Amino acid sequence: MIHFNMLIVKAILKFIVFLRCMNIEDNIKKIVYENPTPSCACKVSLDYLGDKWILIIIRDLFRKRHTFTHFLNESSEGIATSVLADRLKKLCKIGVIDFKYLDNNNKNKNYYLTDRGIELYDIIFALQLWTIKNVDFTYSENTTAWKLQVENQNHSTVKSNFKEEYKLFRKEMFGF
């Protein structure tokens, strides 16, 4: 009987992994906003995404950084480990990112943007475009390259290309 129960548990776990790999995100439920009072959509989105670290993490995921160490060591912003851990949990909770263990010991989480997260590129695009148009600052290498793309291509094409490029990376790296 114990052997049979273990087989059932293994089958259920395999099915869960199968569903995750099938990327069944189109049917993902909406995030439930905890405040029952009528709210402005802008305020609600800022409650979830308004922290600067949230957008930096999403930006870094689009740059194909996908581990805790990548976020800590490859971004010049200098996020604290406790803040990073908190924001990664928050993003997972609202379905913007998820993670997968790619090694055998289930030690290192490899994060990826869900389809919901990929949709946020339009916001990052708009913020970057606004900043370039309205703020005088020294451009990073990434900003310089991005600005050239934006100047030489249709904005819709740039956004679509970034999203598709990330989806290809996710498929190669995570299998979906």
Task: State pLDDT tens for residues 41-55.
Answer: 999 999 999 999 999
Contact 112, 175 (CB under 8 A): no
**Whole-model pTM?**
0.81
Overall average pLDDT of the 80-84 stretch:
96
Question: Which one, of 120, 85, 83, lies nearest residue 99 by Cα?
Answer: 85
Which is more confident, 4 or 146?
A: 146
Is the Cα torsion angle 117, 119, 123, 125 positive or negative in sign? positive
Cβ-in-10-Å burial (0-12, 13-18, 19+) of 120 comes to: buried
Which is more confident, 60 or 26?
A: 60
Estimate to the nearest angstrom the gap between the alpha carbon of 101 and the chain centroid.
16
1-5, 74-78, 82-86: the lowest-pLDDT one? 1-5
What domains, with CATH codes, occur in the chain?
38-174 (1.10.10.10)
Hey, how many other C-beta atoms are within 10 angstroms of the C-beta on 166?
19
Is it the case that residue 69 has pLDDT exceeding 90? Answer: yes
Contact 163, 122 (CB under 8 A): no
pLDDT of the residue at 40? 93
Residue pLDDT, tens place only, 127-151: 999 999 999 999 999 999 999 999 9
Average pLDDT, the chain: 87
